[in-house]
Copies of this chain bind each other. A is one copy, B any other.
Amino acid sequence: METPPELSLETTEKPRRRGREERQRAGSSAPVYRPQPKRPFPAVNAVSEDQLEAIHNASMQILEEMGIEVLHDEARAILKAAGADVAPDTNRVRFDRGLVESKLGLAPRSVTLHARNPNRNLTIGGDHLAFCSVASAPNVADRDGGRRPGNRRDFQNLIRLGQTLDTVHLWGGYPVEPADIHASVRHLDALYDLLTLSDKPVHAYSLGRERNLDAFELVRIARGIDRETLDREVSLFTIINSNSPLRLDIPMMEGVIQMARHNQLTVLTPFTLAGAMAPVTIAGAVAQQNAEALAGLVLSQSVRPGAPFAYGGFTSNVDMKTGAPAFGTPEQMKAALVGGQLARRYGLPYRSSNTNAANTIDAQAAYESVFSLWGAVMGGVNLLMHGAGWMEGGLHASFEKMVIDADLLDMITNFLMPFQVNDDELALDAIREVGPGGHFFGCAHTQARYRTAFFAPMISDWRNYETWQEAGSPTAYDRANRLYKDRLEAYQEPPMDPAIREELAAFVAKRKEEGGAPTDF
């Protein structure tokens, strides 16, 4: 597929660093493609090399002695053929550490994830960071409409809003479940919406082979490529959650197999909440996470050596008083650092998350989010799930939070820009010109730079107290509420070749006629 000419023109512009706010004010959604953030300093190691090996060895012991329950017949057969020990008449698969070691180093350290708009292509891995939207929330909320079950209208509006936000790089799934679409055809309509309302890379759920295959076809059509190109170019990713502890279910294993066969990206993320689905101790929870992730890696690399595969860490803890999941905790931050160390040990891209357990857009929502971002970013995250819009431990997606999070991600993007040290930045002439007791506002060095010198937030209100009070004492929640509506109003659908749109619609119609996909997953 060729890029529509208006987009090609835009990309001859140099990426502007600070222009976003101006564009917002103008209400324009003319795309400006900013470079993907890269971590300029090494990730932080929370444990020593010896401790890391102890965690690795504990995982090996889990895989060798206890094994993993694999509910999928073909997956067990593949693993058996690869050398795993599959106990007769049970689902239990034990993995020799030699088998595991033999599958390390095959998957790429870094892959290009292709979007239908090539300017939106992303590098997943290395020092790069890619920020996903919120995904898979069953409910949706904004202040005006309150909290309500997921539906296609809100689903589409969240896609529109995310499309307008530069720091939402890709879709990590459905931002909210469009539950009013029948489950047999939901994936068809939902992917059609994602691929037409947005031009950013997409995720597909692994809920049975038919859905995986439909997703490959929809993404292939949207990109205007043939099957050979799709097989060469990663154009889709899936999140595979293990059923912790130590279980991998049928649709998840089918997803690993299909994604590997088609050379698409699997992100295996064990669902290891310490104290519930994993040990109450963080080292134990991480060891279990690691065992489950490596079991998935062995399957993936047994299906197709070199298939793209990322290491997912989601270890947090539950509130032991109530059993409720807790997020943005010190335990999650520590687990995020160690998860990153393990991913780097295995040479795999690393997935972590922007999470919180708050029910409303208050200080808690913000500090839990930033703490989880702190752990993820300093831990070396490559693929940040739930980057924008996640609330309530994932139980609702929020329009306002999506805008606030986009600002947090923009702050991180600016924080990660390499620190510049040169004569121009050191500004000795300006310091000399201004002199003791002077002021830098008026000097030439400032005048030449002030418009773009600093990060300009969407949300933060820096007016003085009196002016702010006269304006009605708005909170960040108030500002985000106004802003998300302004942005939805200014949203423009990204251009798409009409022939491609027709082909997508025709494929959806045909598959609907065929009855969609089975719903007995």
Contacts and interface: CB of A to CB of B under 8 A. Distances in A.
Contacts of A419: 46-47, 51, 282-283, 334, 337-338
Interface string A324-357: 1110011101100110000000000000000001
A75 to B, nearest CB: 14
Contacts of A450: 275, 280, 320
Contact of A459 (B61, B364, B437, B453): B364
A279 B446 contact: yes
A14 interface: no
B54 A421 contact: yes
Nearest to A449: B280
Contact of A359 (B274, B396, B473): B473
A23 to B, nearest CB: 16
Interface string A220-264: 000000000000000000000001011100000000000000000
A271 B485 CA distance: 39
Identical copies of this chain, number = 2
Given A317-B453, A415-B334, A476-B364, A358 B284 contact: no
Interface in A442-461: 445-446, 449-451, 453-455, 459-461
Interface in A32-55: 40-41, 44-47, 51, 54-55
A463 B358 CA distance: 9
B45 A436 contact: no
A439 B272 CA distance: 11
Given A283-B422, A331-B455, A364-B461, 12 more contacts: A40-B46, A41-B44, A66-B432, A245-B437, A246-B436, A275-B441, A276-B440, A287-B428, A320-B451, A357-B460, A363-B476, A367-B369
A278 interface: yes
B441 A323 contact: yes
A440 to B, nearest CB: 6
The 4 closest A-B pairs by CB, nearest first: A284-B427, A279-B427, A330-B414, A366-B366
Contacts of A436: 66, 68-69, 92, 245-247
5 contacts: A281-B420, A281-B425, A281-B426, A330-B415, A363-B480
A430 interface: yes
Contacts of A435: 66, 245-246
A507 interface: no
Q: How large is the interface on A (under 10, 10 to 19, 20 to 34, 35 or more residues)?
A: 35 or more
A460 B411 contact: no
A246 to B, nearest CB: 4
Interface string A382-403: 0000000000100110000000
A521 interface: no
Interface of A: 40-41, 44-47, 51, 54-55, 58, 61-62, 65-66, 68-69, 92, 147, 243, 245-247, 274-284, 287-288, 317, 319-320, 322-326, 329-331, 333-334, 337-338, 357-371, 374-375, 378, 392, 395-396, 404, 408, 411-412, 414-415, 417, 419-422, 424-428, 430-432, 434-441, 445-446, 449-451, 453-455, 459-465, 468-469, 473, 475-477, 480
A247 to B, nearest CB: 5
Given A371-B411, A454-B329, A359 B283 contact: no
Nearest to A452: B320
A54 B421 CA distance: 7
A361 B475 CA distance: 8
A51 B41 CA distance: 14
Contacts of A69: 436-437
A477 B362 contact: yes
A479 to B, nearest CB: 8
Nearest to A139: B465
Contacts of A282: 419-420, 425
B360 A475 contact: yes
Contacts of A283: 419-422, 425-427
| A287, A330, A395: most-surrounded residue (chain B CB, <10 A) | A330
B431 A462 contact: no
Nearest to A45: B41
A130 to B, nearest CB: 19
| A147, A460, A463: most-surrounded residue (chain B CB, <10 A) | A460
A165 B280 CA distance: 27
A408 B459 contact: no
Nearest to A434: B245
Contacts of A465: 147, 359, 392, 395-396
A461 B358 contact: yes
Nearest to A332: B415
A453 to B, nearest CB: 5
A284 B362 contact: no
